[in-house]
Amino acid sequence: MARLVVVSNRVPLPGQGQRAGGLAIVLQDVMDSVGLWFGWSGNTTPEGGNTVQTVTHRNTEYATIDLSEDEYQKFYIGYANSSLWPLLHFRQGLLEFRREDLEGYRAVNQLYSKSLQPLLQPDDLIWVHDYHLIPMGGQLRRLGVRNRVGFYLHIPFVPHSVFSALPQGDRLLQDMCEYDVVGFQTEEHRADFLDTVRQTLGHDITGDGVIHVPGRPVQTIVAPVGIDGLAFGRQAERAARSKNNKRLMDSLNHRHLMIGVDRLDYSKGLPNRFEAFNRLLTRFPEHSQHVSYLQVAVPSREEVTEYAQLRPILNRMAGDINGRHGTFDWVPLRYMSQGVSRSTLAGFHRVSRVGLVTPLRDGMNLVAHEYVAAQNPEDPGVLVLSRFAGAASYLQDALIVNPNDPDEIAEAMHTAFTMPLQERRLRHARLFESVLRLTARSYCNTFLNALSNKPGG
Ligand code: ADQ
């Protein structure tokens, strides 16, 4: 069997513990099939990426390079997270572009490619992940790599009219067309990509989503990420009996809990969600004293200005809500910006009557899957889900909302809190079926079948 080589911006080294973020979660269920995982160590050092460090753990070799502070700033903070991330989340107004960042981005990709190339074996299947590393496919080819190379975009793709705001965007599209397989979370993301390629580069595209780059087909596929729902459910059941859960339940004093779990990121729509809670308590005062909302939002990318600015906004809103609606024995909004382990969160999800997943845009959003998987089927909670999360394409029995309208979210909160048990069970049963269909394994199999050119892939 061919060896699988995974390439990602950041490599979660064994023993380092888990950070909030999607890729490590998705791949942890299929780690037994990963032969080599290559990427950045997460360290910045003065000499940057001159040496590759390797460590082997349970049949997987982890190979990492460091970056210099200058490389990190231009590549990661600059182009990847100040240009590509906002643009691909439809936030053209937040896009910051500097040519030196773009060149830094390409240079770091070249560093990755040159460091990886000597580690490759002829039959390896190479799977490159996410927007940080788009140029790698073409760079590896120019270094003489003949292996099959695939690329997967974890975040949305945007319509041509939005994409065209990106200076030198055509180069990036050409880079994406250097891969053998390009994968997306949803049909909509793929369709937007194909249309952008057609309009920008003029390539022929056939109905099966194959781009006919002269001399070479590029196959595009939809491979939604997922989780091991049964295992997460078992984890939630166990965690619900833990000390932490007992403390949480005691503190609730029989009130219903509503939960949100996100990275602190402007794409996750947190200010609108806070405002929605404010409106719930104002417009539906019957919930006053009877509900508590727990928001866990762990800081990320704080060196990017917009991320740093978000924190004080949420602090102020949380203070305002509690000041306005709270009483001497009831804190309506519990807002935490420290990390909480995934198993503890599983237990918290299980006892929450409402799960809030209301990003303004999201590639998929695994928290939606986790919330559903964690529920007790006999007495399940209700998922309120943004129509602009990739998850909404698959979890249609959630209460689907437009995250730009705090009133609509507030109404969905009210509906969720007052939903009869029978409807909650029915919706949950259907949602759970969808979660079980979209596993981490099915995601990997779909992508790898296409990458290894297997029929049906
Ligand atoms: P993210 O935006 O990082 O990743 P998301 O899917 O929302 O990912 O969550 C990833 C994981 O991190 C989940 O398992 C969640 O439980 C955990 N997590 C999130 N916030 C946390 C917190 N405050 N504390 C502890 N754990 C937390 C990208 C895309 C997503 C896509 C994933 C996977 O932006 O759209 O779903 O990749 O493809």
pLDDT single digits (tens) 125-139: 999 999 999 999 999
pLDDT (tens digit per residue) in 376-394: 999 999 999 999 999 999 9
pLDDT at 456: 46
Taken in order of first residue, the domains within the chain and their CATH numbers are: 4-226+440-452 (3.40.50.2000), 229-437 (3.40.50.2000)
Please determine, for residue 20, whether its predicted confidence score (pLDDT) is greater than 80.
Answer: no
Tell me the pLDDT of the chain averaged across its residues: 95
Which among 298, 367, 439, 442 is the best mutation to test ligand 1's pocket, defined by most ligand atoms within 8 Å of the CB? Answer: 367
Percent of the chain with pLDDT over 90: 89
What distance in angstroms lies between residue 200's CA and the mean position of ligand 1's atoms? 32
Percent of the chain with pLDDT over 70: 98
Give residue ranges with CB within 6 A of ligand 1. 20-22, 25-26, 154-155, 225, 261-263, 296-298, 339-340, 342, 345, 362-367, 370
pLDDT (tens digit per residue) in 187-202: 999 999 999 999 999 9
What distance in angstroms lies between residue 116's CA and the mean position of ligand 1's atoms? 27
Catalytic annotation, pick one of 89, 129, 132, 154: 154
**What is d(CA 296, CA 340) in angstroms, rounded to the nearest whole number?**
8
pTM for the whole thing?
0.96
Tokens of 415: 């509906």
**What is d(CA 230, CA 376) in angstroms, rounded to the nearest whole number?**
12
* DSSP letter, residue 36: E
Q: Is 129 among the catalytic positions?
A: no
**What is d(CA 52, CA 67) in angstroms, rounded to the nearest whole number?**
11
Q: How many CB atoms lie within 10 A of CB 107?
A: 15
Q: How many CB atoms lie within 10 A of CB 439?
A: 21
Nearest atom of ligand 1 to the alpha carbon of 363: 35
pLDDT (tens digit per residue) in 425-444: 999 999 999 999 999 889 99
What distance in angstroms lies between residue 405's CA and the mean position of ligand 1's atoms? 23
Q: Do 194 and 184 meet the contact criterion of CB atoms below 8 Å apart?
A: no
Please determine, for residue 48, whether its predicted confidence score (pLDDT) is greater than 90.
Answer: no
pLDDT at 449: 94
Q: Is 329 among the catalytic positions?
A: no
